[in-house]
Amino acid sequence: MVWMTLIGWLVVVVPVIVVFAIFLSDADLTFRFYEHFGVQNGENLKGKVIWITGASSGIGEELAYQLSGIGSKLVLSARRTSELERVKKTCLQRGIVEAEDIMILPLDLCAFDSHDSATQKVLDKFGQVDVLVNNAGRSQRSYALDASLEVDKECLRLNVIGTVSLTKSVLPVMVERKSGHVVVISSVAGKLPAPLQASYSAAKFALQGYFDALRSEVYDENITVTTICPGPVVSKVRDNTMTTTLERTGEDTEYDDPAVHYGNRMATGRCGQIIVTSIANRLNEVWCSRNPFLLFTYIAQYMPSVCRLFSKFYGRQRIKVIRKHVQEKKTK
């Protein structure tokens, strides 16, 4: 009887402790274990050649600063050369790297035919690519029915096909060396779809599926595939958001939810720390977000039916609030 009572208590208490730990955390519990007991401060990334796309702002920019502080050799890619030069200058001021350790490589992720030649340029300079961080992308926010088909196509073309294309250019080099690491900055939107982000969620779900499959294919080649799923992060991603058209929106869009409004976004520096630690410990998948998004991600993963039921009611309420917000903006 004593054992039965003890088991009964454990059945009740352990889940409560786990939920409490999740609610107090800003990353999944597997990551938190490695953060405390694994490789610390990215120390094994010193001297590694790390190629970052979308390095001109946001998470990519922050990663460049943190990795230059470790002593990694960097390839910084984005479309805006002037912004990449700015990031490089800051890296040299903050980091412990020399100018020759940072390569500026302008890149359009949708110019698929340029990816092989871009990879060759990196090899000509550094001889190898140890880590490819697929960070570049663009968000989308509008009702699915309001968005033009061009928005859907661009969201998938840039976020999915562009990422896959560049990865396929780099992977043969890693396979030949029997060493490499592919990192994909996905999103909790790839685990937990939200209303008003149908195209963006579709793109992130596609990335999850593709790179989960790739992980098993390249395992015997000593290549690690890591997917990072951040929630809302302090960045300029919303400046470049698509709504019903391909035009850039600026900070605010008529589809913003005033009730959600982004006060609980994760600091970019903390997100960068989590990504660096995930790379250093060669983790498979990491969720990083402030709550309640992290807790919702757990529910989506382990109780999908409950999540879908909740999403319908939550989504309906959120849409009502946004529609009211839109109407108020139009009448002003």
Q: How far apart are CA 292 and CA 149, in angstroms?
A: 32
Catalytic residue at 262?
Answer: no
Backbone angles phi, psi at 77, to 5 degrees: -125, 140
Long-range contacts of 284-287 (CB under 8 A, 24+ apart): 284/215, 284/224, 284/225, 284/226, 284/227, 285/226, 285/227, 285/228, 285/229, 286/27, 286/28, 286/30, 286/31, 286/226, 286/227, 286/228, 286/229, 287/27, 287/28, 287/31, 287/188, 287/191, 287/229, 287/231
Q: State the Cα–Cα distance between residues 95 and 81, nearest whole angstrom.
A: 20
CA-closest candidate to residue 131, choices 177, 93, 88, 100:
177
Identify which of 213, 205, 237, 252 has the alpha carbon closest to the alpha carbon of residue 137.
237
CA–CA gap between residue 265 and residue 83 (Å, rounded): 24
Q: Which of 34, 65, 143, 200 is catalytic?
A: 200
Which letter, b or e, does each residue of 72-111 get, where b requires 16 or more Cβ atoms within 10 Å of its Cβ?
Answer: bbbbbbbeeeeebeebbeebeeebebeeebbbebebebee
Tell me which residues are annotated as active site.
200
